[in-house]
Amino acid sequence: MAVFDTLRIGGSSLFVHRKWMDAVADNMANINTVNAPGEAAFQERMVVAEAVQYGSGQGGVRVAGTELGSAEGRMVYEPGNPLADDEGYVRYPDIDLGDQMTQLLMAQRGYQANLATIRSATEAYQQALQLGKG
């Protein structure tokens, strides 16, 4: 393991957690997006993370991609909505706000933990540099 791998690994995790928070924020912003019944509902975005060079001792993570939730959504009876069909139904995304809040908390805590690791490593490297000045 190289001297500054802690910073590289922590930085890769910060990036993944930020992307996770971005996806959750997008999901929460579109939780009340209404579509006509003939259209697909807004699809929940879920970030997929994977280990980089797992087992090699290099460490780190990256965003492997995103998965999309159901385009079917849920049908809601709103006859006054201009997008409603002849029967009075519109299509909403099938996104659970409670689940999104949980996802947001987990992503935020992971981001904070990795940021603390990077700060600790930076302080340790700075103190190690000070030893030689002594």
Number of Cβ atoms within 10 Å of the Cβ of 66: 13
Residues (pLDDT < 70) of the chain are 1-3, 54-57, 134
pLDDT of 119 reads 92
pTM of the model: 0.85
Q: Closest by alpha carbon to 6, among 91, 93, 123, 99? A: 123
pLDDT, tens digit, for every residue of 69-100?
Answer: 999 999 999 999 999 999 999 999 999 999 99
Rounded-to-integer distance, Cα 120 and Cα 11, Å: 13
Number of H helices, E strands in the chain: 2, 4
Nearest-angstrom CA–CA distance, 129 and 134: 10
By C-alpha distance, which of 6, 1, 19, 4 is closest to 108?
A: 19
Residue with tokens 């791998």: 5
Q: Which two structure tokens, joined as six digits, stand for 124? A: 């340790």
Q: Which amino acid is at 129?
A: L
The answer to whether the CB of 45 falls within 8 A of the CB of 30 is no
The residue extents of the domains of the chain are 5-131
